[in-house]
Amino acid sequence: MQKEESRFANSTVMEGMISFRAVIRGMESGVSDRSILRVLYDRSKERQLSGHLSYIRAMHYQYGFEIVPAETGEIDALSIGLSHGGILTVCSERTIPDLTEEVIQKDGFYVMIEGIEDPYNFGYAMRSLYAAGVNGVILSPRNWMTAAGVVCRSSAGASEQMPLYIADSNMAADLFHRRGYRVLASDLDRSTPMWESDLSLPLLLIVGGERRGISRALLDKCDGIVRIDYGREFSAALSAASAATVLAFEVLRQNQK
């Protein structure tokens, strides 16, 4: 139980090779200023890990981090999940810059998700948004990137490769409007079905969390409100991660050249 609860703690320990490669790609692209401090591998699995270790050593020569053989128990104690495959990457913190007009790309697609209650769900959302081609994700000042290891693993590394910015929602709407973007929110009141909505770029999409939703003040700032219609009667709302996924891929569909 204690280990399960630790998933919500601050963590810069990335688990598995997918996470290691994602951290490297984030560093190489300039998306992230995170650095690798050391890589631990399970010494009892050194033969099975030989291919991965060759790549890790090549990166070690380039970036100068430590490579440390460790016992299985040490690896398991430092990890949260069981899918690390015997490799852990201990990293520095990542700086997430404040959102400014200058960083907003022309004719882009950005998403702001508010109020996700769980780091795993946040990671699942990041995975989908990255796959859908989102240019960046806007985070509220309180977000799950403190649990970076969990988010990286659940996002299949997408969180380390996605441009991220910090802003409160009202400020974000104002900045994107000044850059000529339309700002749409996902909600039910005064909404248009997603299939009938114009989701052309440039676009900022705001998706509310599972519990708090989107404030009336922010909805009043938006240029439109979209909803996801269901295929049957269903009184529950989709999770924020699921709603963001569905909407992001509809944006992708509508903007295919």
Decide which of 60, 91, 122 is a domain's last residue.
91
Whether residue 50 has pLDDT greater than 90:
yes
Lowest mean pLDDT of 54-58, 102-106, 118-122, name the range: 118-122
pLDDT, position 39: 97
42 shares its domain with 105? no
Q: What is the pLDDT of residues 215-238, one digit of tens each?
A: 888 888 999 999 999 999 998 888
Whether residue 134 has pLDDT greater than 90:
yes
Q: What is the pLDDT of residues 94-108, one digit of tens each?
A: 999 999 999 999 999
- In this prediction, residue 5 has a pLDDT band, given cuts at 50, 70 and 90, of very low
80 shares its domain with 195? no
What is the total count of domains within the chain?
2
- Mean pLDDT across the stretch 131-137? 97
85 shares its domain with 109? no
Residue 55 counted as domain residue: yes
79 shares its domain with 114? no
237 shares its domain with 185? yes
Q: Note the Cα 70 to chain centre separation in Å.
A: 30
- Is the separation of the CB atoms in 136 and 165 below 8 Å? yes
| Cross-sheet strand order for the sheet of 87-91 | 13-15, 87-91, 36-42, 66-70
Consecutive H or E run containing 109: strand 109-113
Residue type, 200: S
From 239, 211, 243, select the one nearest 229 (Cα to Cα): 243
Q: What is the pLDDT of residues 153-202, one digit of tens each?
A: 999 999 999 999 999 989 999 999 999 999 999 987 889 999 999 999 99
149 shares its domain with 180? yes
- In this prediction, residue 212 has a pLDDT band, given cuts at 50, 70 and 90, of low
| Tokens, residue 107 | 């004719």
114 shares its domain with 193? yes
**Cβ partners under 8 Å of residue 134, min gap 6:** 109, 110, 111, 162, 248
Tokens 């591998």 locate to 41
- Is the separation of the CB atoms in 195 and 229 below 8 Å? yes
Residue 96 counted as domain residue: no
Its domain, for residue 148, covers: 101-254
